[in-house]
Structure 1
Amino acid sequence: MKYEDLKLKDGSTFPKLGLGTWYLGETPSTYEEEKNAIITGIKEGIKLIDTAEMYGNGLSEQLVGDAIKDFNRDDLYLVSKVLPSNAGGRKLEKSLDATLKRLGTDHLDCYLYHWRGSFPLDETVDRMEEMVEKGKILRWGVSNFDTADMEELLEVPNGRNCVVNQVLYHLGSRGIEYDLLPYMKEEGIGVMAYCPLAQGGSLRRQLMSNATLQEVAKKYDISVMQLLLAFVMHIDNVSAIPRSGNASHVLANAKMRDIVLSDEDYKLVSSQFPAPNHKTFLDVV
C-alpha cells in the first residue's frame, strides 16, 4: 500500500479506504451478492466497514454482521451511526446495543452521530463518552457537520474527543475544501468521504464523459470511476468509503490503494471541476 492510514488524535489509526453499505441489505434478491462483495473486500484487506442504524432500518447492519461472522473481529474496523432522534438520554445506549446485536460484536471501533438533531450537543457527547467508558465503543465522531457545527462541538466539554467527521465529498462536490477540510486538519480530526464516486445524478455523467479525466485515467490504466476515488484518496487526512454491492467493483476500488496520482495529474484533474472560492452549503445525500 502506498497510502498511509489516517492518524487520529487519540493515537490510533483510521483506514484510508473502507466499504460503504448505504442501501445494502435491503433487497432479498441481491442479498447474497452484496454479502459476497463485503466478504471480498475483507479478503482483499479492506478492514473498515461503515454502516448505520438508518440504512434499511437496521438491515444493512444485519448484512454486515452476517458477512463478518467468520472473520477475526480484531482484524476489522467497524463504524456505525446513531440517528439524531436516538442521540440523547437512554436512547443512545439502547440504539447502540441494537446495532451491536445486529453486527454480532461487543463493540464498535467508532460510533458516529449521523447528523445534528434536537438533543443538545453536550448531552450527546456525554452519552458518547459514557459508551467509551463502558467499552461499547472505542471512540466517537460525527457526520454531516459543517464548520460552524464543528466549532460549536469543540466548545462542549469533551467535544474535542471527536476523532472523525463523515461528509459527502468527491471531485464534483468540493465545498468542504473552502473551510471545513482545512479546519478539520488543523484540529487533528479525520475526514471520512462518503459518495467519493459521485453516485447518482447528472453530475456523475459529466464526470464520466470529461475528456481530460478519460485521458488521465487511461494513463494509469484505470477507469474514470477509479480516478474519482484516486482523487479523494490523494488528499491528506481523508478516508474514502465507496459503496458497492458488487464484488468486481470492490476489487476495482481496492486496487486504488496502490495507485497514487502524481501532483501534476492531481492538479490537472482538479482543474476540470475546481473547488469553490467561497463558502457553500454542506452537501448531503
Structure 2
Amino acid sequence: MNELEKNLNIPKIALGVWAWGSGAVGGDQVFGNHMGADELRPVFQKALDEGLNLWDTAAVYGMGASETMLGDFVKDVPRESLLLSTKFTPQIAEEVENPGEKMIAGSFERLHTDVIDIYWIHNPADVAKWTPELIPLAKSGKVKYIGVSNHNLAEIQLANQILAEEGLKVSALQNHYSLLHRSSEDAGILEFAKENGMTFFSYMVLEQGALSGNYDTAHPFPTGSDRAEAYNNSLPQLETLIQAMADMAKKYQGTVAQIAIAWAIAKGTVPIVGVTKVNQVEDAAHAATINLTSEEITQLEKLADQTKVNTLRNWEKPMA
C-alpha cells in the first residue's frame, strides 16, 4: 500500500460520473444518457451506503455539467465522507496568467469544496508546459495528490521529474485499461507504477458497456451516441468472450460486468466504474468481493486477445 492509498484510505473501486450531465463531451453526447438529479441522487446515496466514496469527474465533462451534478449531492454530506477526483484539461485552459488556478477555482465552485483529493492533468498536450501548473496548487494545499491521465511512460517520467524538482511527485496514473485494451500493461506502465508507489486507476474497464453483458448483436447500443459508433460493429466478435464471462459469473453469483471489474482489481489497479443506476453501484460493490484465480485471468485475457477488437478511442494514443 503506497502513501496515497494509505492516507486517503481509498476503496477498491472508484465511481465515475462522465455520464452525468449534458453538453459538449457530456453524458448525452457520449453515452446517449439524459438523466437529472432525481434519477442520480439515489445512485449517489447507494454508493455512500456501500462505502464507495471516491468520485472521479473532470471540468471538461459536459463543460462543467458533470461536476455541477456531483456537487449538488456533495454539498449535502460531510466533505470528509468523500474523496473527490477531478481534472485539469489543457485544451480548455483559459489564456490567463495562472490557468491552473483558474480552472480549479471553477471546479471548487461546482463541487462545493476547497480541496481536491486527487487532481489530474487530463492528457499530455504539452507535459513541460502544463505539469508546473499543478505545483502551486499542491504546495498551497488545494490539491492533496497529483495524477496524470492518458500519459505514456516517457511522459509520466518527465512529469515526475518536473514535480520532483519542487519536492513533489506523480502519485496516481489514470489510463484506459480493460480486457480489450491492455497497452498500459504492455508498455510497462503498470509495473512502473508499482515500483514507484503510484496508484494506477483504470478507466473504461467495461468499455462503456461493451463488456457489461447488457449489449449484443440483438441488443446494440442506442444509435446517436459515441459509444454506439465505437462498439456496435464489434459486438459479434465479443460473443465468445462475453459468454465465458457469463459462465464465470455464475460461479461467483455475479454478473458479466462484475467479472470485468474484478479482473481489473486482480491486475493491481483501481477501476473507475461509471454509474448511472443503483444496480450498477451494487454491481461494483459485489465485484470488489470477487477474487479471480490466475487461471481465470489467463483464460479471460486469451479470449479477449482472440476477439481482435481494437478499442483505442479518438482522444488517446497507443501506450506501447
TM over 0.5: yes
Residues 158-197 of structure 1 mapped to structure 2, 5 A cutoff: 158=164, 161-178=169-186, 179-197=188-206
Rate the CA distance shift 1:125–1:11 in 2: closer, same or farther, 3 A.
farther
Rate the CA distance shift 1:242–1:206 in 2: closer, same or farther, 3 A.
farther
Identity in percent: 26
Aligned match of 1:224: 256
Task: Specify which of 218, 233, 242 is matched with residue 273 of structure 2.
Answer: 242
- Native 8 Å contact 1:89 1:127 kept in 2: no
Q: Distance in 2 between matches of 1:263 and 1:78?
A: 33
Deviates more, 1:217-226 or 1:20-29: 20-29
Deviates more, 1:133-142 or 1:19-28: 19-28
Deviates more, 1:123-132 or 1:48-57: 123-132
- Native 8 Å contact 1:172 1:207 kept in 2: no
User: How many residues in Structure 1 have an aligned counterpart in Structure 2?
Assistant: 273
1:210-252 deviation per Cα after TM superposition (whole angstroms, max 9, x unaligned):
332222112112111111111101112x111110211111111
Q: Distance in 2 between matches of 1:163 and 1:177?
A: 18
Provide structure 1 residue ranges, at least 5 long, that are not aligned to the other structure: 1-5, 276-280
Q: What letter is aligned with 1:268?
A: Q
Q: Distance in 2 between matches of 1:250 and 1:208?
A: 25
Provide structure 2 residue ranges, at least 5 long, that are not aligned to the other structure: 23-27, 209-226, 307-311
CA-based RMSD = 2.6
Q: Distance in 1 between matches of 2:314 and 2:294?
A: 26
1:77-109 deviation per Cα after TM superposition (whole angstroms, max 9, x unaligned):
100001113298411101101101100011100
Aligned match of 1:38: 44
Asked if 1:7 corresponds to 2:30, the answer is no
Deviates more, 1:95-104 or 1:217-226: 217-226
Which secondary structure state, in structure 1, belongs to the residue aligned with residue 116 of structure 2? coil
Residues 203-214 of structure 1 mapped to structure 2, 5 A cutoff: 203=234, 206-207=237-238, 209-210=240-241, 211-214=243-246
Aligned match of 1:63: 69
- Native 8 Å contact 2:163 2:169 kept in 1: no
Residues 89-100 of structure 1 mapped to structure 2, 5 A cutoff: 89-100=97-108
Asked if 1:77 corresponds to 2:72, the answer is no
Deviates more, 1:215-224 or 1:200-209: 200-209
Q: Distance in 1 between matches of 2:4 and 2:104?
A: 23
Asked if 1:134 corresponds to 2:140, the answer is yes
1:16-73 deviation per Cα after TM superposition (whole angstroms, max 9, x unaligned):
2011011212269511212321222122110100000000010100111112222221
Q: Distance in 1 between matches of 2:105 and 2:70?
A: 16
Aligned match of 2:131: 125
Deviates more, 1:240-249 or 1:258-267: 258-267
- Could you say which structure has the greater relative contact order, defined with CA pairs below 8 angstroms and 6 or more residues apart? 1
Rate the CA distance shift 1:157–1:44 in 2: closer, same or farther, 3 A.
closer
TM-score (norm 2): 0.77
1:168-202 deviation per Cα after TM superposition (whole angstroms, max 9, x unaligned):
01111111111222122222211111111111414
Deviation of 1:151 after TM superposition, in Å, equals: 2.3
